[in-house]
């Protein structure tokens, strides 16, 4: 009797499973990626108003704040549509992909490429070439070849485009301020005599002196040099090391790319005693901070938002990145109590993204009810015209000067700095972070009118936007812009920027097999768990012993299998690009 | 009495009851049985966005992988430790209910009950924020401990791997104690008052009444809940552990649910994540059946 009941139960479950499987399985035919523009009209009828949604992993919801902005309104008018953006996280994106109901235009990362291609979720943009002149413009030729060969079926089809492509017409720029490097509180740094900082040891000495001057905040809270951010895996450590040693990060820090030679370097599993890899450089730096009593005791439990809170309260006197300052600088506007960033060995500028930004691939969904209109919108996002209006404002926000080149109007400049016009600034859509990852051209590409995409990168404009502390820094060092510290260092050969790094190698790596992903993820977890032992090591011997133990654990976790795969994939990618370029 | 057992007769009272039960049966079917379809993913190399039947069939590959994965063993060990601690603490709600029953002051009783029940409605995110405010290096309790010379700011409870098991179990008890005692309060309310009167006539005081009347009357409820707890032995959930996990506590705090979450959703290794879940479900069902069998042997009748 019991057997019968069990059989019936399992039978029912199996039947349900089969029914559901039947429901899900029929999707593939309707979601055909080979949907083509049969009519291939040169002039698409746009008389019918449509809705176009753009969703992506690195996008924000248009409902968050002023929308539609001037910039977006112009696009909507041009294509008779209403545009909205949607933030995807990995889970919601996978859900939409599985259900075949993604947005009209979607932005994904490398991990989703295989699913999008196999699942036929993207339309072949080549089929819409006649309505996509910007995507297929000469300036995008290199990017398109890369997309066709490495992010497609290795043929003539092209499913993806990338944002922020660097063209041949690129004007180098160091920006106005340095974004990442040695962060100091300007008032304290000035008080200790603004010593030259060229390496970690000099920085730690400066931090010690600043801490002595400012042991507690005005509210009586303890101050520290800095803390790690623990919600980004190993990033805190290897990114600090990348800046200090001259590398770019890959695969969450297990591997890095030499910014000068473009070689792949094994970072965490570092057996070469002659080379200090970024991860170990970063970990040693944090260990030195710990030993000097400068590290926040909550170093291992602090997350991004905790950092922002403590920066806002003024509890940190140093750091490596400018993401977490919160409102501290704006709260102290007009005073010298501001965070400024001094250059480390590597300045994160001038990266030659000739194929655009890695990991932010845009495609038009084959499930879109308005494929043609979506292609037209995506194409326009790839244009110089849209890049200019997004980064510098719609025409009228800038105008041609007597030199024939475009310049921002005085009103636009004043709108940015005038707190009373904050709402107007938001509605202008200039430098709107919600569309930053959608823009086809890099900020520093020079357009046909002779001006950069971002007119804010003109030197005169940058000078006008400096804060009190930044102005004092310039006076202190006899320079025009804080970023001149980096620029001069690069010219002297003391610092470096990313102009020699080739991001395309990373982009063209073959899809990482699941077993390697599994090994890498396990290695990252093992390394994260070993960090307390390394950073809280009281002596060099204790540090060396903790390092040895970690390397042993990594070895047992099959790290060598991962290294072999990465080295081969890296070389394959390099040679494939070389062969593509030689054609 | 010779009623025929089988499907309910049309027009009978049972028939009406069955109709009333249909919404609940539907809910159980939708949320407990339909998801079993997801087990199929553990037999395929699933790629999100691709129909499952277009993915490669890998058979038991992911189940074999579980046997080679040291992390599964570590997560299983942590899960067992948390589960055993929580099972050992299972009598606490019953004790709280007895103590509350003994309170004669109505307002105080209500206050204590409300005070202990409220944490159940606080999300783990808020509990984490509260714990940070109390136990971080500059938290109130840590500062107090430093001032009393009982510790130093660099060794906060939130970063103590040694304290993970009891600290997290303490938080679970703090959150759920009052709520879990409600069912025992209901059981106490159902005890025939004549039993207490009879006991008092025999000379029993409050304590003896609790031991000899209240406690035995609650044992039935306790055993049922105990068996249900054993069924949930491996279902520790992951929210709490995800929030409190950091590099200092990671090795001890990662339970099976959290590991599955990390593998399946963070690493997007869905198939492997599902395989771990399948094994977990099978172990859970086995444990329930075993507990039921033991209960039957001891008490003479089964719970399920």
What pLDDT, on the 0 to 100 scale, is given for residue B138? Answer: 83
What pLDDT, on the 0 to 100 scale, is given for residue A21? Answer: 41
Least CB–CB distance from B50: residue in A13, A119, A300: A119
Question: How large is the ipTM?
Answer: 0.82
Asked whether the beta carbons of residue B71 and residue A522 sit closer than 8 angstroms, the reply is yes
Answer yes or no: are the C-beta atoms of B85 and B165 closer than 8 Å. Answer: yes
What pLDDT, on the 0 to 100 scale, is given for residue A128? Answer: 96
CB contact A252 to B (< 8 Å): no
Across the range A122-142, mean pLDDT stands at 96
pLDDT tens-digit map of B73-119:
999 999 999 999 988 998 999 999 989 888 877 888 889 889 999 99
Higher pLDDT, B129 or A249: B129
Beta bridge partners of A319: A183
Number of neighbouring beta carbons within 10 Å of residue A471: 13
- Phi first, then psi, for residue B243 (nearest 5°) are -70, -40
What pLDDT, on the 0 to 100 scale, is given for residue A26? Answer: 35
Answer yes or no: are the C-beta atoms of A361 and A113 closer than 8 Å. Answer: yes
- C-alpha radius of gyration, chain B, whole number: 24
Among B47, B244, B281, most A C-beta atoms within 10 A, so best to mutate, is B47
Percent of chain B at pLDDT above 90?
49
Please give, rounded to a whole number of angstroms, the shortest distance from the CA of B183 to a CA of chain A.
32
pLDDT tens-digit map of B236-267:
889 999 999 999 999 999 999 999 999 998 88
What pLDDT, on the 0 to 100 scale, is given for residue A36? Answer: 38
**Regarding beta strands A255-258 and A361-364, do their DSSP bridges make them parallel or antiparallel, or are they unpaired?**
unpaired
CB contact A313 to B (< 8 Å): no
Task: Give the integer Cα–Cα distance in Å for A345 and A323.
Answer: 19
Within 209-248 of B, beta carbons closer than 8 Å to A belong to 246-248
What pLDDT, on the 0 to 100 scale, is given for residue B157? Answer: 87
- Largest CA-CA distance found in chain B, in angstroms, rounded: 76
Asked whether the beta carbons of residue A16 and residue B247 sit closer than 8 angstroms, the reply is no
Residues in chain A with CB shorter than 8 Å from the CB of B37 are 16-17, 20-21
Q: Is the pLDDT of residue A12 over 60?
A: no
- Model confidence band, residue B12 (pLDDT cutoffs 50, 70, 90): low
Residues in chain A with CB shorter than 8 Å from the CB of B247 are 230, 300, 528-529, 531-532
Beta bridge partners of B56: B45
- Model confidence band, residue A199 (pLDDT cutoffs 50, 70, 90): very high
What pLDDT, on the 0 to 100 scale, is given for residue B204? Answer: 87
Asked whether the beta carbons of residue B136 and residue A25 sit closer than 8 angstroms, the reply is no
- Model confidence band, residue A30 (pLDDT cutoffs 50, 70, 90): very low
Q: Locate tokens 């993806």: which residue?
A: A160
Across the range A86-112, mean pLDDT stands at 93
Higher pLDDT, A22 or A63: A63
Please give, rounded to a whole number of angstroms, the shortest distance from the CA of B217 to a CA of chain A.
33
- Model confidence band, residue A40 (pLDDT cutoffs 50, 70, 90): very low
Least CB–CB distance from B246: residue in A28, A297, A300: A300
Q: Is the pLDDT of residue A137 over 90?
A: yes
A162 Cβ contact list (under 8 Å, min separation 6): A143, A147, A353, A355, A356, A357, A358, A360, A361, A362, A507
Structure tokens belonging to residue B148: 């009393």
Nearest residue to A498 (alpha-carbon basis) of A347, A356, A342: A347
Between helix A278-291 and helix A514-535 the angle, nearest 10°, is 20
Q: Is the pLDDT of residue B13 over 80?
A: no
Percent of chain A at pLDDT above 90?
80
Q: Is the pLDDT of residue A7 over 70?
A: no
Asked whether the beta carbons of residue B48 and residue A297 sit closer than 8 angstroms, the reply is no
Nearest residue to A399 (alpha-carbon basis) of A459, A463, A462, A449: A449
Residue in A with minimal Cα distance to B47: A115
Least CB–CB distance from B47: residue in A114, A297, A306: A114
Across the range A293-316, mean pLDDT stands at 94
- Model confidence band, residue A14 (pLDDT cutoffs 50, 70, 90): very low
- Model confidence band, residue A251 (pLDDT cutoffs 50, 70, 90): low
Residue in A with minimal Cα distance to B37: A17
Asked whether the beta carbons of residue A221 and residue B138 sit closer than 8 angstroms, the reply is yes
Asked whether the beta carbons of residue A297 and residue B137 sit closer than 8 angstroms, the reply is yes
Q: Is the pLDDT of residue A41 over 70?
A: no
Least CB–CB distance from B51: residue in A27, A91, A306: A27
Asked whether the beta carbons of residue B33 and residue A91 sit closer than 8 angstroms, the reply is no
Answer yes or no: are the C-beta atoms of B40 and A17 closer than 8 Å. Answer: yes
Q: Is the pLDDT of residue A264 over 50?
A: yes
Q: Locate tokens 């320079």: which residue?
A: A479
Please give, rounded to a whole number of angstroms, the shortest distance from the CA of B234 to a CA of chain A.
22
> By mean pLDDT, which of A213-227, A257-271, A390-404, B10-24 is the weakest?
B10-24
> By mean pLDDT, which of A111-125, A126-140, A564-578, B205-219 is the weakest?
B205-219
Q: Is the pLDDT of residue A250 over 80?
A: no
Least CB–CB distance from A298: residue in B33, B48, B136: B136
pLDDT tens-digit map of A420-456:
898 999 999 999 988 999 999 999 999 999 999 999 9
What pLDDT, on the 0 to 100 scale, is given for residue B303? Answer: 66
pLDDT tens-digit map of A374-386:
999 999 999 999 9
Across the range A496-503, mean pLDDT stands at 93
What pLDDT, on the 0 to 100 scale, is given for residue A275? Answer: 78
Nearest residue to B191 (alpha-carbon basis) of B206, B213, B208, B220: B213
| Mean confidence (pLDDT) of chain A | 90
Answer yes or no: are the C-beta atoms of A521 and A534 closer than 8 Å. Answer: no
Within 204-223 of A, beta carbons closer than 8 Å to B belong to 221-222
- Model confidence band, residue A28 (pLDDT cutoffs 50, 70, 90): very low
Higher pLDDT, A35 or A88: A88
| Mean confidence (pLDDT) of chain B | 88
What pLDDT, on the 0 to 100 scale, is given for residue A42? Answer: 56
Residue in B with minimal Cα distance to A221: B138
Residue in A with minimal Cα distance to B139: A298
Across the range A458-476, mean pLDDT stands at 91
**DSSP letter for each residue of A7-30:** HHHHHHHHHHHHHHHHHHHTHHHH
Asked whether the beta carbons of residue B154 and residue A222 sit closer than 8 angstroms, the reply is no
Dihedral sign, Cα of residue A420, residue A422, residue A425, residue A430: positive
CB contact B36 to A (< 8 Å): yes
Nearest residue to A302 (alpha-carbon basis) of B137, B167, B164: B137
């Amino acid at each position: 009797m019991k057997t019968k009941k069990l059989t019936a139960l399992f039978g029912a479950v199996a039947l349900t499973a089969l029914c559901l499987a039947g429901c899900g399985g029929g999707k593939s035919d309707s979601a055909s990626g080979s949907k083509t523009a049969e009519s291939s009209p040169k002039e698409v009828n746009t008389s019918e108003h449509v809705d176009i949604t753009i969703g992506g992993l690195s996008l924000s919801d248009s409902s968050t704040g002023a929308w539609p902005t001037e910039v977006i309104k112009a696009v909507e008018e041009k294509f008779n549509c209403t545009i909205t953006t949607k933030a995807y996280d990995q889970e919601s994106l996978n859900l939409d992909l599985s259900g075949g109901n993604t947005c009209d235009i979607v932005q994904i990362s490398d991990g989703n490429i295989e699913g999008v291609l196999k699942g036929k979720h993207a339309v072949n943009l080549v089929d819409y070439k006649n309505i996509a002149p910007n995507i297929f413009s000469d300036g995008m030729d290199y990017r398109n070849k890369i997309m066709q060969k490495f992010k497609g079926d290795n043929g003539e089809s092209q499913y993806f485009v990338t944002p922020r492509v660097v063209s041949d017409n690129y004007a180098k720029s160091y920006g106005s301020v340095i974004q990442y490097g040695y962060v100091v509180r300007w008032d304290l740094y000035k008080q200790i005599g603004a010593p030259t900082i060229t390496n970690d040891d000099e920085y730690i000495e400066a931090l010690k002196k600043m801490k002595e001057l400012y042991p507690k905040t005005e509210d009586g809270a303890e101050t520290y040099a800095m803390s790690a951010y623990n919600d980004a895996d190993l990033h805190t450590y290897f990114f600090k090391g990348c800046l200090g040693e001259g590398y770019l990060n890959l695969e969450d820090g297990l591997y890095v790319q030499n910014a000068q030679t473009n070689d792949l370097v094994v970072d965490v599993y570092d057996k070469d005693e002659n080379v200090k890899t970024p991860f170990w450089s970063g970990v040693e730096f944090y260990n030195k901070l710990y030993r000097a009593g400068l590290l926040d005791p909550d170093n291992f439990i602090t997350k991004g938002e905790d950092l922002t809170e403590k920066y806002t309260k003024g509890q940190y006197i140093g750091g490596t990145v400018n993401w977490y300052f919160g409102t501290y600088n704006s709260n102290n506007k007009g005073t010298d109590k501001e965070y400024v960033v001094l250059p480390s060995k590597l300045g994160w500028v001038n990266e030659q993204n000739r194929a655009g930004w890695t990991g932010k691939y845009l495609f038009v969904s084959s499930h879109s009810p308005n494929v043609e209109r979506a292609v037209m919108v995506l194409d326009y996002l790839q244009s110089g015209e849209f890049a200019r209006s997004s980064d510098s404002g719609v025409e009228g926000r800038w105008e041609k000067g007597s030199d024939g080149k475009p310049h921002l109007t005085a009103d636009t400049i004043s709108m940015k700095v005038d707190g009373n016009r904050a709402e107007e600034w938001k509605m202008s859509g200039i430098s709107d972070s919600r569309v930053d990852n959608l823009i086809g051209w890099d900020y520093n590409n020079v357009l046909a009118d002779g001006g950069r995409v971002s007119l804010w990168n003109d030197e005169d404009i940058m000078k006008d936007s400096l804060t009190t502390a930044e102005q004092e820094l310039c006076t202190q060092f006899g320079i025009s812009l804080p970023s001149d510290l980096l620029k001069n260092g690069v010219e002297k050969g003391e610092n470096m920027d990313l102009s020699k790094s080739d991001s395309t190698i990373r982009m063209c790596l073959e899809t990482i097999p699941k077993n390697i992903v599994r090994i890498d993820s396990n290695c990252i977890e093992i390394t994260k768990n070993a960090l307390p032992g390394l950073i809280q090591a009281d002596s060099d011997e204790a540090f060396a012993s903790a390092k040895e133990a970690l390397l042993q654990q990594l070895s047992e976790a099959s790290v060598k299998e991962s290294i072999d795969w990465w080295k081969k994939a890296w070389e394959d990618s390099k040679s494939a690009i070389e062969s593509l370029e030689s054609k | 009495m010779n009623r025929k057992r089988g499907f309910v007769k049309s027009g009978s009272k049972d028939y009406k009851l069955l109709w009333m039960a249909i919404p609940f049966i539907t809910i159980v079917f939708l949320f407990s049985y339909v998801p079993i379809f997801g087990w199929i993913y553990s037999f395929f190399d699933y790629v999100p966005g691709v129909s499952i039947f277009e993915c490669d069939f890998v058979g038991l590959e992911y189940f074999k992988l579980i046997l080679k994965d040291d992390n599964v063993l570590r997560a299983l060990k942590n899960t067992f430790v948390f589960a055993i601690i929580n099972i050992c603490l299972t009598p606490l709600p019953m004790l709280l209910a007895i103590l509350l029953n003994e309170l004669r002051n109505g307002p105080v009783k209500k206050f204590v009950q409300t005070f202990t029940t409220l944490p159940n409605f606080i999300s783990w995110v808020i509990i984490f924020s509260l714990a940070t405010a109390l136990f971080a290096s500059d938290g109130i309790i840590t500062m107090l401990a430093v001032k009393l010379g009982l510790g130093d700011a660099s060794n906060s409870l939130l970063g103590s791997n040694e304290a993970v098991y009891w600290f997290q179990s303490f938080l679970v008890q703090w959150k759920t104690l009052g709520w879990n005692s409600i069912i025992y309060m209901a059981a106490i309310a159902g005890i025939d008052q004549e039993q207490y009167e009879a006991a008092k006539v025999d000379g029993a005081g409050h304590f003896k009444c609790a031991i000899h009347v209240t406690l035995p009357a609650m044992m039935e409820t306790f055993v049922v809940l105990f068996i249900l707890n054993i069924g949930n032995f491996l279902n520790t959930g992951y929210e709490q552990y995800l929030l409190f996990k950091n590099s200092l506590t990671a090795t001890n705090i990662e339970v099976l649910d959290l590991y599955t979450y990390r593998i399946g959703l963070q690493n997007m290794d869905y198939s492997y994540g599902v395989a771990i879940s399948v094994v977990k479900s099978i172990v859970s069902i086995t444990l329930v059946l075993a507990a039921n069998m033991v209960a039957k042997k001891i008490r003479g009748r089964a719970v399920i």
